[in-house]
Amino acid sequence: MRRGLLILIVFATLISTFLVAEQVELKFLHRWPDPINQPFLENVVKDFEALNPDIKVNIQAISNDPFKEKIKIVLGTSEAPDVFFTWPGEFTNRFIRAGRIMDITDALVETGWIDDFVYSQLEPFMYEGRFYGTPYRIDAKVFMYNRLLFEKAGVDFVPETWEEFLVACEKLKKAGITPIAFGNEQPWAISHYIGTLNQKSVPEDVWLKDLDPAKGTWDHPGYVEALKMFTQLIPYFSQFPNAIKHAEARANFFAGGSAMMYVEIVEIPYVYRDAPVEFQENWGMFVFPNTGGPGNQNYLTGYPEGFVISADTKYPEQSLRFLKYLTGREVGRREYAEVGYLNGIKNLFDEDEVDPGTWDAVQLVMKAEAMANWLDSSLHARIWDVYSVQLQMLVDGVTTPEKVMQEVRKAADRVRAEF
Amino acid sequence: MKSYRRRPGRLLGVTLTNAFMWLLVIIVVYPIIWIFINSLKSNSELFLNSFGLPSKAMFSNYIDAWNQGLSSYFMNSIIVGAVSIFFTIALGSLCAYGIARFEFKGKNFIFYLILGGLLLSPQASLVPLFRMLDFLKLYNTYWALILTYIAYRLPFAVFLMHSYFLSFPKELEDSARIDGCGTFTTFTRIVLPISRPIVASVAIMTAIFVWNEFIFALVFVEDAKMYTIPVGLANFKDALNTNWTAILAGIIIASIPIIVLYMLLSKSFISGLTEGSVKG
Amino acid sequence: MILVFVYLPIVQNFYFSLFKMSSYSPTKQFVGLANYRMIFEDDVFYISLKNNTLYAVISVICQVGFGMLLAIILEGSFIGRKLKVFFRNVYFMPSLLSVTAVGLMFYFIYNPNIGLLNGILELIGLGDLKTAWLGNPKTAIYAVIAMSQWQYTGYIMVLLLVAIQKIPHEQYEAAEIDGASSFNKAIHITIPGIRDMIVVCTVITVIGAFKLFTEIYVMTQGGPYNSTQVLGTFMYRAAFAYDEMGYGSAIAVIIFAITFLASLVQIRFAYKGNN
């Protein structure tokens, strides 16, 4: 009997060591194959592997624009990654509907993991009451401006309302300064303007309903109003917006070629990395001016980006461990130090630990009542296809706001019919 | 000289024609030189003045481009290219030789089946190929590219080599066979060495094809670490943001190998291209 | 292997084109010919078709027509022997570069602010013509087409050059005795002598025009607002950017039909040429 027990124990130990020794491989897909983020994430993975010897993480990366196409392809293959990057909102929701993303609600709630996050940054990852991912990088859209050029043109105020904003633009233009840098070769750039204007010009409940592809009708007059307001800005933009990349326009803005630019707060690190010292010492930020429209004016446009786990993963427990590490506090602090991004963890830093630009930006985000998702990733792919084409035409002045919305409504009707 | 005296208009004709041809040379070459000059500037210099000479030649742009992924794209292209070339030639020459030298049932059918591959545009097969490679678990591997490249280059290789094998005398092989060589040894010892020029043409054409192929490399491989040169280069446009001078350096680096190859082997190039008469 | 990777996909294409399916969800739904009907109702399809045709026509005129002129000049007696080889190699070189590299190159050349083209226009006093070549829907497709002429005219020229060299010398000598001018020789001997090659070149240029993809993908991605969309990018966009794999397959069937027909013509003439 005792002998039998002994054998059993030895056997069990053998099995368990065998199990522990067996390494599982996770496939991890992100969207930053650039010389700053890539090495950072490689190091994060290395440290994670050192802490978790039973897991090996294979990193793959696809850059931003191709990512939007590739992720759909990749999720359709048998090679789907275990942990991968995504933009919350409709971009992710369609994958959730197709059953490709793992529900992590229980893991979040049961262990109290949920309390680590700033809730407003976690909420975007919720779909029909369940959580599917965690934020890796928080973001919001603000106007950056060049104080020197404002002074030169005699603009002695920071615009808070739409009227003030237009006055500032006019003054700058009169002084021979290009008021707004705008690069729209990839039309996500205009989507950020229109997303903000839509949200501010349409009552909140109508706007939220329209973002749902199963219900959206897009027939509220506020959408046309939003486009009309946008056309007021066209004379103030830099030349050839549709032929210039956003990053190119930004380089020009940093160099003093224009006075303002609508940018994401994740672009702040570029100020310290790329801009001339003169700009670094004389820039400021303000939120999109109050338009007086019927939408909630205390929203901020901008949505976190994060990571989710594939529903097909063979290693849900290991994937969760990696996700928790990747979007956790320790990585978050290093992330800021090494690549300049902030993740969604509560009280990550004290004021004296970060640069003033980032600190101000974070305060803006915390002050906002809620976040409005990016227009492009909040729309159904086929509606966005039509919308983006129409918006580029609007920039060139070859269509009218009414016609744009007519086309969008047609596309929305077709999509709605499929649900 | 005699002819000049006979027709006075000729001198004018010669001058104008030569001037015209030189103008075309400038149109062809100047853009490349412009890219090269700018690839040596710093980024801000490029934005301020894209026409002047660089104040200081920044070869570091080349190092940047190389380190930011180009080195691995290069390796990927070389691996995929080497394997594809090897198999295209091995399979293609055997196939062509068999068809050119031996009679067997269904020979014509097989020959036309292979040649028919020349008619089909790879692009049209993108979706089914993608699903098939995924089904075979080859998606996102070198094999996804190698297998499809071989499949699409084989018809061309067989076509070229077949007509070449037909054109040289059978007596050589017969005498080898009398000396006691088997069919396979005859093939490797006698036929292939004589066929060096055509093998070289096929190899070069396959090399150019692999070096430049874009759409398969774009769809069948997902990881940035696995990109071949063309896709990697296109990806530079996104990944490097405004580090334009590094992109320019990348363009130059990616173009050098083929140009060097051409300078060394321009004869085989021209014959390969003209025999094949297929673009892109 | 050819069967599996080359022929099977063509058959599968027909099959897939009858379904509505997306790359990431496992289900597919039979829709019959609805995808084809959708294509014919899609404005972008007609833009694409128009662009491919435009590309084909301009390429034939420029690459085959102008290429032939260059070939005749290079084979004529106006250019010194050493220069001939030099010109041939220089003109031929761009066709060796990868389309991606050339596409990126021209992306910079057409840049409105720092590009070479606008710079030159400024320099020769045509500053008013400056525009964002790839960002302006009126010029974008022509800008892409122009790049291809830059790249491929030399290639077609070399093909024709080789054909000219195959024309027996006696024909020219006989003509010279009759006192024919260079122009007459070109019209009466050279062009008829390379007729088959001209047809082959025309056909491969047309096929190339309908295979167009990389140039557009690298330079404009079909924009601004679809003005540079071609069948290849239209198909890619449908299948891989908008999850409409069935729709993409249906477009692929159409591309297949066009290029297949053109190739048949090519093979016919190429064979005639060889015998």
B47 against C95, higher pLDDT: C95
**Under 8 Å between Cβ of A190 and A244:** no
On average, the pLDDT of chain C sits at 86
The answer to whether A243 contacts C23, with C-beta atoms less than 8 Å apart, is: no
Residues B69, B223 contacting (CB under 8 angstroms): no
Contact yes or no for C114/C52 (Cβ under 8 A): no
What is residue B277's three-state secondary structure? coil
B contacts of A78 (beta carbons < 8 Å): 134, 137, 139
Radius of gyration over alpha carbons of chain A, in Å?
24
Mean predicted confidence (pLDDT) in B63-92: 91
Q: Where does the pLDDT of residue C275 fall: very low under 50, low under 70, confident under 90, or very high at 90 and above?
A: very low
Which pLDDT value is given to residue C104? 93
pLDDT given at position B279 = 44
Establish if C156 belongs to a structural domain. yes
* Better-predicted residue by pLDDT, C264 or B1: C264
Provide the token pair at A85. 């990057």
| Residue B263: per-residue pLDDT | 81
Instruction: Encode pLDDT of C221-272 as tens digits.
Output: 887 888 999 999 999 988 888 778 889 999 999 988 888 888 787 777 666 5
The boundaries of the domain holding residue C182 are 31-274
B272: Cβ–Cβ under 8 A, 6 or more apart, which residues? B160, B200, B201, B202, B204, B205
ipTM of model over 0.95: no
Q: Which of A94-103, A212-221, C17-26, C176-185 has the lowest mean pLDDT?
A: C17-26
Q: What's the alpha-carbon Rg for chain B, to the nearest Å?
A: 24
For residue B5, what pLDDT is reported? 47
- List chain C residues with CB under 8 Å of B251: 101, 104-105
Strand partners, A35: none
User: Which residue stretches of chain A have pLDDT < 70?
Assistant: 1-21
Distance CA C175, CA B223 (A): 63
Residue-level pLDDT at B4: 43
Q: Identify the DSSP state of B59.
A: T
Of B32, B211, B279, the CB nearest to C208: B279
Residue C130 backbone dihedrals phi, psi, to 5 degrees:
-60, 135
Chain mean pLDDT for chain B: 83
CATH code of the domain covering residue C202: 1.10.3720.10
Total domains present in chain C: 1
Question: Å from B102 to nearest chain A CA?
Answer: 44
In the DSSP assignment, the letter for residue A117 is B
State the Cα–Cα distance between residues A25 and C184, nearest whole angstrom: 74
Residue B155 sits at the chain C interface (C-beta within 8 Å): yes
Interface test with A, best of B241, B245, B247 (most A CBs within 10 A): B241
Contact between A242 and C240 using a beta-carbon 8 Å cutoff: no
For residue B49, give every residue at least 6 positions away whose Cβ sits within 8 Å of its Cβ, in sequence order, or none.
none
A245, A248, A253, A257: CA torsion to nearest 10: -100
Q: Which residue of B has its CA nearest to C149?
A: B28
Supply the pLDDT for residue A20: 52
Average pLDDT over residues C45-67: 95
**C224 prior amide bond cis, ω within 30:** yes
Check: CB of residue B61 under 8 Å from CB of residue B40: yes
For chain B, domain boundaries: 65-276
**Does C25 reside within a domain?**
no
Structure confidence at residue B1 as a pLDDT band (50, 70, 90):
very low
Judged by CB atoms closer than 8 Å, whether chains meet at A62 and B239 is answered as no
Q: Would you call A186 an interface residue with chain B, using a CB distance cutoff of 8 Å?
A: no
* Residue count (chain C): 275
Cβ pair A141, A264 in contact under 8 A: yes
Task: Decide if C78 and B18 are in contact by the 8 Å CB cutoff.
Answer: yes
Q: Nearest chain B residue to C93 by CA: give it.
A: B259
Q: How far is C272 from chain A (nearest CA, A)?
A: 44
Give the pLDDT score at B3.
Answer: 45
Q: All domains of chain A, ordered by start, with CATH?
A: 22-139+303-348 (3.40.190.10), 141-301+372-417 (3.40.190.10)
Beta-bridged to residue A58, according to DSSP, are A27
Chain C's closest residue to B237, CA to CA, is C104
Which residues lie below 8 Å from residue A231, measured CB to CB, with a gap of 6+? A394, A397, A401
In this complex, the chains that touch C, judged by 3 or more CB pairs closer than 8 A, are A, B
Task: Kindly state whether residue C6 falls inside one of the protein's structural domains.
Answer: no
* Separation between Cα atoms, residue A274 and residue C73, nearest integer Å: 52
For C236, name the nearest residue in chain A, comparing CA atoms only: A69
* B131 interfaces chain C, CB cutoff of 8 Å: yes
Helix (H, G, I), strand (E, B) or coil at A262: strand
The reply to whether C20 falls in a domain is: no
Residue B244: closest C-alpha in chain A? A248
- Mutate one of C43, C225, C228 to test the A interface: name it (highest A CB count within 10 A): C225
Percent of chain B with pLDDT over 90: 24
Task: Collect all residues of chain C within an 8 Å Cβ-Cβ radius of residue A95.
Answer: 24
Class at the top of the CATH hierarchy for domain B65-276: mainly alpha
Cβ–Cβ of B124/C239 closer than 8 Å? no
Q: What is the pLDDT of residue B278?
A: 46
